[in-house]
Amino acid sequence: MKDLIKSLVEAWGPSGYEHHVRELIRGYAEPYADSIEVDALGNLICRVGQGDGKQRIMVAAHMDEIGLIATFQEPRSGYLRFTPLGGLIHTTLHGSRVRFENGVTGVIGAPEPLGSSRQNAPDLESFYIDISDGDGAGAVAPGTAAAFWRPFEERGTRLIAKSMDDRIGCVVALEAMRLLAKETPHEVYFAFTVQEEVGIRGARPAAHSIDPDIAIALDVTQAGDEYKGERNGIKLGGGAAIKVQDPGLVVPPAIRDWMIARAEADGIPYQLELLKAGTTDAAQIQSVRAGVPSGCISIPCRFVHTTSETVDLRDVEACVQLLTGLLKH
Amino acid sequence: MDTTLLKSLSEAHGISGKEDAVRKIILEAIDGHTSDIRIDSLGSITAIKRGTVAGAPRVMLAAHMDEVGFMVSGVDGDGLLRFTAVGSIDDRILPGLRMKIGVNAIPGVVIWTPIHLGREQSVVKLANLRIDIGAANKDDANGKVKMGDMIVFDSYFGEVGTAMVRGKALDDRAGCALLIDVLRGGPYPVDVLAAFTVQEEIGLRGAQVAAQTLNPDVAFVLETTTANDIPNPLAVPDEMDEPNPTCRIQGGPVFTILDRSIIVNPRLLQFLRATADKHGIPYQLKTQPGGGTDGGSIHLANDGVATAVISNPSRYIHSPVTYLHRDDFDNSLRLVQALLHDMTSFGGTAL
């Protein structure tokens, strides 16, 4: 599973430009899917099972990662201006490396990286990207997207990488597909969605075409065990996080209890998640068509939306077991 | 450019939710040029112009009928009107502006303090402004206007310079005029699913319902965007403060890469650029991601719709006077017609 994780987290796929990740996932999914489709927005939808009168279940994990897109090149200096794709944390930007689709590496800078007050980071408009190659202005046309770059690393059971959010959710989905080996009493649609980070856009049309009875989103959640953290009770290594609520979704008790019962029956470690800020694909899926009861299995993560998002392998395994168990019964 | 049509569209009063006068003009203008004309439950016009090639993509073209403006929200004891914005308008431009209020288009002016009194107000807030319609008192004002009455900029349409036109509400009546010209032309190989939408300025609302109903394969939004190709009076010149004009007048139709509401489908953006190049039509990329358009709603409708946004560059949008260059309008029209003719060769929307 670690090879799969490394391959997906190091792949390039900012919001709206998920095509490389999609082809990678398609390759992994093909042996375990009964059919695969790509919709007009670029969502990859893999069906497993025929249903046989049971539930039609949507499982959603988003392929996109936060990134940016070049909008304008300063005529004299050659520096690129950019606009974010997703929620960038300003204090992490100065000195960060990004890679454009054509392979050019850029470095982000700011006139006053610590902010004039030394408390606040500068406005995003102040940042620029250096793409100079010492021999001209560099070759990145405005309109080209970029993703942050850092390699995958391990420290014991901790896994550290960019874009754990939400490639680790994609990994959980792919691992469950592999373990199911096409055996499920349900009709399961694994949707690898686009454009979650820019406002949960891909999941809605995907849910509209799948028209599921129930849905499960897979995403990272903010761990509460960072220093002076949220104190939300979520710990790395504490097991799969079963969502109770976030600002965009109140999980129907029947869905929540269905997950808890499965975890207890199978002896899977779990923790209950009440997230104060942020939401997932499930927030959009729940209101598609006549409504879809939706829940979420979350992977606890430290340092979310940085290039060092940290998860614990044991939690990832617990999430895989829980999802597989739910889809098998 | 049909200047007579654009004049009547520009001068029609139609803030978000009250697009009736604009709808009437458009219904007359497209009569006989399309089939299946409908007014949906929110008030958008949908119409279909059948294509000549069976099985070709069904292409939605959308332009919004509503304009930014205001609404009467109360009458003070002295007969001055309180008002609230409908759509996003910079409060700082308001003092001293002339307005027209209600169905009877009663004239009024936004209050301000003359310079003689030397009261410098650095911050202008809508909540502190009133509209003076010359009423003697509250009862007098209540006899002339009522709560909820529409307020629009008092402006006129006309020529400016040698090749520009000016008027209010060219965002997006110019897009409506463009769409009308497309429908009057043709035939095209593809089915054209036209939508003149309501309530764009307050949250892309009409387009969502129109797109769900029309259920297109591909959509182009015909918009009006801000050409910030003018000096910024607040800018401090230095090396890192190069002008970033968003787009320029006479630079041709503007293609959005992304804005607050949409990341334009990259394949469709490539197709726009290739089509413009093939037909020798100038174009420009929008270099700032501000704002949103009907594309934000349309691309998420139903199972999802590959959507792009094509805008006329214009100066001073969301004000009483917007400038639009004839060349830009004409090039946008050429481009949209070329797209419709070449659409049958479009390879697909997935990268």
Q: Model confidence at A325, in pLDDT bands (50, 70, 90)?
A: very high
How crowded is the C-beta side of A101, counted as CA atoms within 13 Å?
A: 19
Q: Which residues face A72 on adjacent strands? A: A81
Q: In this complex, is the C-beta atom of A211 within 8 Å of any C-beta atom belonging to chain B?
A: no
pLDDT digits (tens, 9 = 90+) for A13-22: 999 999 999 9
Chain A residues near residue B304 by CB distance under 8 angstroms: 39-41, 43, 202, 205-206, 208-209
Mean pLDDT computed over every residue of chain B: 93
Phi and psi dihedrals of B29, rounded to 5?
-70, -30
Helix, strand, coil % in chain B, rounded to nearest 5? 30, 25, 45
Does B239 sit within 8 Å of A71, measured CB to CB? no
Cβ separation B269–A202 shorter than 8 A:
no
Chain A to chain B Cβ contacts (< 8 Å): 80
Residue of B212, B236, B254, B257 to mutate, testing the A interface (most A Cβ within 10 Å of its Cβ): B257
Q: Hey, is B7 helix, strand or coil?
A: helix
For B257, nearest residue in chain A (alpha carbons) = A143
Q: How far is the C-alpha of A151 from the C-alpha of A160, rounded, in Å?
A: 9
- Specify the amino acid at residue B112: W
- Which residues in chain A have Cβ-Cβ distances shorter than 8 Å to B288? 71-72, 83
Determine the distance in angstroms separating the CA of A119 from the nearest CA of chain B, rounded to an integer.
23
CA distances from residue A92 to A125, A154, A190, B295 in whole angstroms, order as listed: 15, 21, 33, 32
Question: Distance (Å, rounded) from C-alpha A59 to C-alpha A82?
Answer: 33
- Over residues B198-214, the pLDDT tens digits come to 999 999 999 999 999 99
Looking at the DSSP bridge assignments, the partners of residue B39 are B45
Which of A32, A41, A93 has the alpha carbon at shortest distance from A62? A41
Give the residue from chain B lying closest to A38, CA to CA. B350
**Of A77 and B342, more confident:** B342
Sign, CA dihedral B177-B179-B182-B184, equals negative
Contact assessment for residue A154 and residue A1, using Cβ atoms and an 8 Å cutoff: no
**Alpha-carbon dihedral A190, A191, A196, A199, rounded to 10 degrees:** -120
* Predicted pLDDT at B234: 59
| Span A17-72, pLDDT tens digits | 999 999 999 999 999 999 999 999 999 999 999 877 789 999 999 999 999 999 88
Give the pLDDT confidence score for residue B280 in this predicted structure: 98
DSSP secondary structure string for all residues of B263-311: B--HHHHHHHHHHHHHTT---EE-----S--THHHHTTSTT--EEEEEE
Calculate what percentage of chain B has a pLDDT beyond 90.
Answer: 84
Option in B240, B287, B350 nearest A77 (CB): B240
Cα distances (angstroms) measured from residue A309 to each of A159, A167, A226, A300: 8, 11, 12, 10
Q: With beta carbons under 8 A apart, name residues in chain B contacting A77.
A: 239-240, 242
- B-chain residue closest to A197, CA distance: B263
List chain B residues with CB under 8 Å of A81: 244, 287
Contact A323, A59 (CB under 8 A): yes
Q: Is the dihedral of CA A275, A281, A282, A287 positive or negative?
A: positive
Q: Hey, are the CB atoms on A128 and B240 less than 8 Å from each other?
A: yes
DSSP state of A65: B
Model pLDDT for residues B129-172, shown as the tens digit of each residue: 999 999 999 999 999 999 999 999 999 999 999 999 999 999 99
Picking from A130, A222, A190, the residue whose alpha carbon sits closest to that of residue A326 is A190
- A122 touching B, CB under 8 A? no
> Which of A65, A187, A196, A317 is the catalytic position?
A196
Q: Is pLDDT at A148 greater than 70 in this prediction?
A: yes
CA distance B177 to chain A (A): 29
- Considering the candidates B200, B223, B239, B242, report the single residue annotated as catalytic: B200
Q: B304: which 2 tokens?
A: 């999802």
Do residues B338 and B184 touch, judged by C-beta distance below 8 A? Answer: no
B257 to A71: CB separation less than 8 angstroms, yes or no: yes
User: Which residues from chain A sit within 8 angstroms of residue B242, using beta carbons?
Assistant: 74-77
pLDDT at A77: 84
Chain B closest CA to A274's CA: distance in Å? Answer: 28
- Name the one residue in this structure whose structure tokens are 């900029």: B153
* Strand pairing class (B158-160; B150-153): unpaired
Q: What is the ipTM of this complex?
A: 0.89
pLDDT digits (tens, 9 = 90+) for A268-321: 999 999 999 999 999 999 999 999 999 999 999 999 999 999 999 999 999 999
- Please report where in the chains the tokens 């914005």 appear, as a residue: B85
**What percent of chain A stands above pLDDT 90?**
83
Judge: B351–A17 Cβ closer than 8 Å, yes or no.
yes
Per-residue pLDDT tens for B227-270?
988 776 655 555 445 556 678 999 999 999 999 999 999 999 99
CB atoms B217 and A40 under 8 Å: yes
Q: Which residue has the tokens 């259920």?
A: B215
Q: pLDDT digit string (tens) for A117-144?
A: 555 677 888 899 999 988 875 688 888 9
Taking any CB pair shorter than 8 Å as contact, residues of chain B touching chain A are: 217, 239-240, 242, 244, 257-258, 263, 265-266, 269, 285, 287-289, 299-306, 349-351
Reply yes or no on whether A196 is catalytic: yes
pLDDT tens column, A179-212: 999 999 999 999 999 999 999 999 999 999 999 9
How close does chain B come to A276, measured CA to CA in Å? 24
pLDDT at A54: 84
- Assigned token pair, A235: 């710990």
Asked if the bond preceding B172 is cis, omega within 30° of 0, the reply is: yes
User: In this structure, which amino acid lies at residue A226?
Assistant: E
User: Pseudo-torsion of CA A30, A36, A40, A43, nearest 10°?
Assistant: -60
Interface with B, mutate which of A127, A201, A281 (most B CBs under 10 A): A201
Contacts of A198 in chain B (CB under 8 A): 263
Q: Is residue B115 helix, strand or coil?
A: helix
- Residue of chain B whose alpha carbon sits nearest to that of A206: B303
- Asked if residues B295 and B264 have their Cβ atoms less than 8 Å apart, the reply is yes
Q: How many CB atoms lie within 10 A of CB B229?
A: 15
**Bridging pattern class, strands A56-62 and A187-193:** parallel
Give CA angle at A43 (A42, A49), nearest 5°.
Answer: 140
Distance between B263 CA and the closest CA of chain A, angstroms: 6
CA-CA distance, A81 to B244, in Å (whole number)? 10
Tell whether A102 is within 8 A of chain B (Cβ): no
Of A15, A19, A205, the CB nearest to B304: A205
Flag whether pLDDT at B216 surpasses 80: yes
